[in-house]
Amino acid sequence: MTLDGSNFLDSLISILDEHGIAYCVIGGQAVNAYVEPLVSLDLDLVIATDQLADAEALLGTHFQLERFPYSLNLTLPGSGLRVQIQTDPRYSPFVSRAERREILGIPLPVAQLADILQGKVWAAQDPERRPSKRRKDLLDIERILEAYPELGAHVPPDILDRLN
């Protein structure tokens, strides 16, 4: 159940699980699974590439779905939760390496921390991304590095410079 009382998250996860669609959580909620959580009503997912078309058709019958160049955005009237399914193929290997962790009180497959960090680096380096979103990505990278400083070797120097 999401914080607003809707059953959007429960419904979404049930549909994906019932249809055997492989997915994992990425983005800020995934960061929250590894470090001190921040409040967010965004949920970012990646779906196995070979199941993406089926998932899009299926989810479009249950939720409002809007397609963008590298994402599918899902909403449900009455819910404050915003779900974005990443369609950039660079993220698809994350699904097979995911591990179960708690997100919003529900055990879900979550990308491994190194994969989450890589996704945040890609997002922070994307010149087409809104500046406010890139700042949030930098904050998430900083949160990860504070808790796991050994991962600093995986962050490009230009990103590390922006954090200092």
Task: With cut-offs at 50, 70 and 90, classify the pLDDT of residue 2.
Answer: very low
Name the β-bridge partners of 25.
45, 110
Average pLDDT for the chain: 94
- Predicted pLDDT at 105: 86
Q: Looking at the chain, list the stretches that DSSP marks H as alpha helix, in order from N- to C-terminal side.
A: 8-18, 27-34, 52-60, 93-97, 113-124, 131-147, 157-163
**CA 30/CA 26 separation, integer angstroms:** 5
pTM of the predicted structure, to 2 decimals: 0.91
- Predicted pLDDT at 5: 56
Q: Which domains does the chain have, with CATH numbers?
A: 8-111 (3.30.460.40)
Whether the pLDDT of residue 139 is over 90: the answer is yes
